[in-house]
């Protein structure tokens, strides 16, 4: 049986939360379990922990502050994050990083919040789940300051250049790949690059409800992406890498399990 772990599900999104039980069940039927629920700010992180408690072994979560919310970061945020991170369902610090594309928070605040969360990840010896958009140079510079003390780090939804990929791999980062590679309009560069990611550095994610793979046929009636579509992304990746689907899926699964320190045997049922 080919198993999968979706390392990024925004299950608290208004478009998903009301059907979360069904979403978890349908994903498990496609052997996609567990799901990693993303915490993008502290209140959402609390909600993610609460949701995970309702679905033990099926859901785990991250807890952190996304760069969009970096302006909310205060000295008290660090203590709050450390307390949240102690919960058994929390498997990584994040989503944290830099986003200079939308600049929803001032860039100096983004850098401050990102550095603070990497420092916490080092202190707690927890893996970190990271975001970078149009901010590569600052992102790599900050990561480099902490990388030696971080147990593990992943850049999720990678969409960068070959030079940026090489820089990330030089920092020994894991690379998260989404259905972006299935988008013939925006994803061709990534489709060309995915073959360069080593087997021991690659992970897969839907980033649901975002980034529905455009090349899926038949096309889902809803425009929402769902964890149950993860195998399609793996299949697309395998073709681009000229790699056996089962082999690639196994690498992604094992990398994710080890990265998040998940048990070797994970039940897909509540």
Residue-wise pLDDT for 182-222, tens only, equals: 998 889 999 999 999 999 999 999 999 999 999 999 989 88
259 closest CA partner among 150, 124, 140, 102: 150
Query: Is 156 annotated among the ligand-binding residues?
Result: yes
> Please, what is the end-to-end C-alpha distance for the chain in angstroms?
19
What is the gyration radius of the CA atoms in the chain, in angstroms?
Answer: 17
User: Using CB atoms within 10 A of its CB, is residue 101 exposed (0-12), middle (13-18) or buried (19+)?
Assistant: exposed
Q: How far is CA 132 from CA 54, 114, 194, 244, 269, in A?
A: 31, 11, 17, 30, 34
The model's pTM: 0.96
**Is-contact 6 35, C-beta < 8 A?**
yes
Q: Is the pLDDT of residue 242 over 70?
A: yes
| Cα–Cα distance for residue pair 95/161, rounded to 1 Å | 21
Domain limits of the chain?
A: 4-259
Least confident of 32-46, 170-184, 211-225, 246-260: 211-225
Averaged confidence pLDDT in the chain: 96
- What pLDDT sits at residue 268? 47
User: Using CB atoms within 10 A of its CB, is residue 25 exposed (0-12), middle (13-18) or buried (19+)?
Assistant: middle
Which CATH number is associated with domain 4-259?
3.20.20.140
Token pair 């998903």 in the structure block, residue: 16
**Is-contact 161 181, C-beta < 8 A?**
no
Query: Is 131 annotated among the ligand-binding residues?
Result: yes
User: Which residues make Cβ contacts (< 8 Å) with residue 33, sequence separation at least 6?
Assistant: 3, 4, 5, 24, 27, 58, 266, 267, 268
Query: Is 68 annotated among the ligand-binding residues?
Result: no
Split at pLDDT 50, 70, 90, the class of 1 is confident
């Amino acid at each position: 049986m080919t198993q999968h772990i979706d390392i990024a599900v925004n299950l608290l999104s208004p478009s998903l939360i009301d059907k979360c039980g069904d979403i978890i069940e349908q994903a498990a039927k496609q052997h996609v379990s567990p799901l990693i629920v993303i915490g993008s700010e502290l209140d959402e992180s609390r909600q993610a922990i609460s949701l995970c408690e309702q679905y033990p072994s099926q859901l785990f979560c991250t807890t952190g502050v996304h760069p969009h919310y970096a302006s909310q970061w205060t000295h008290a945020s660090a203590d709050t994050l450390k307390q949240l991170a102690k919960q058994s369902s929390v498997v990584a610090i994040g989503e944290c990083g830099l986003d200079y594309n939308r600049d929803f928070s001032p860039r100096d605040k983004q850098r401050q919040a990102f550095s603070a969360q990497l420092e916490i990840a080092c202190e707690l010896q927890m893996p970190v789940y990271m975001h970078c958009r149009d901010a590569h140079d600052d992102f790599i510079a900050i990561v480099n300051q902490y990388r030696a003390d971080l147990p593990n780090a992943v850049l999720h939804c990678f969409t960068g250049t070959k030079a940026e990929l090489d820089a990330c791999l030089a920092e020994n980062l894991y690379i998260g790949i989404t259905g972006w590679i299935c988008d013939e309009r925006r994803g061709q560069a990534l489709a060309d690059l995915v073959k360069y990611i080593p087997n021991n550095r690659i992970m897969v994610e839907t980033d649901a409800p975002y980034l529905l793979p455009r090349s899926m046929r038949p096309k889902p009636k809803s425009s929402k992406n769902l964890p149950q579509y993860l195998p399609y992304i793996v299949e697309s990746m395998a073709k681009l890498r000229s790699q056996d689907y089962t082999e690639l899926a196994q690498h992604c699964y094992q990398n994710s399990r080890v990265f998040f320190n998940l048990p070797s045997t994970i039940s897909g049922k509540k």
